[in-house]
Each structure stands twice: as structure tokens, then as C-alpha cells.
Amino acid sequence: MVLSFALGAFAVVPPEVWARGPDICLWKHLFGLAACPACGSTRALAAFFHGHLAQALAYNRNVMVTGPMLIGLLTQDVISGIMKLWEK
Ligand SMILES: [Zn+2]
């Protein structure tokens, strides 16, 4: 359920809106780093779920793994939900 809401938020809210939000990178704030390997992931996932793949890769290349993985997890969740309905 939480995953569905998160993916829904990525699909509905454009990456430009996410980019205007606060910088929530813990590593930047704790250690004063310029960026960490996860920086830009939220914007990248929003761009990915809007179908802007080049923009998604520009924000964070990890989206090549996390985007399809989230689609797989959501698909698995939907299938298991349907199977539970059939078992009743
Ligand atoms: Zn970061």
C-alpha cells in the first residue's frame, strides 16, 4: 500500500516540483558532502514514471535499477492481491 502511494506520487507529481522541495540528503547535511550516490533519486524516479528517461538518467543513473525494480514490486503486489481475492 505504501509502495502504491509512493509510485502514485512519483507518477502524479512532476520532477520539477520535487526539485523545488527541500534537500533531504542526510549525508550532505551530516558530512558536508557535495552529493551522495543516492542524490537525485526522487527526481529521477519522478522523471522515470513520467516517461522522461533521459531526464531521469541525468538526475541519477541508479534509476536504471530502481525504476524497473519498483515496477516489478508493484506488479508482484498486484498479482498477490488478485491471488488472495481468488482464494476467498
Ligand atoms: Zn544524497
pLDDT at residue 2, rounded to an integer: 74
pLDDT at residue 9, rounded to an integer: 84
- CA of 87 from ligand 1 middle (Å) equals 43
Residuewise pLDDT in 10s, the chain (88 residues): 677 777 888 888 888 888 888 888 889 889 988 889 999 999 999 999 999 999 999 999 999 999 999 999 999 998 998 999 999 7
pLDDT at residue 15, rounded to an integer: 84
Q: Are 21 and 40 in contact (CB under 8 A)?
A: no
- CA of 62 from ligand 1 middle (Å) equals 12
- CA of 31 from ligand 1 middle (Å) equals 11
- CA of 60 from ligand 1 middle (Å) equals 10
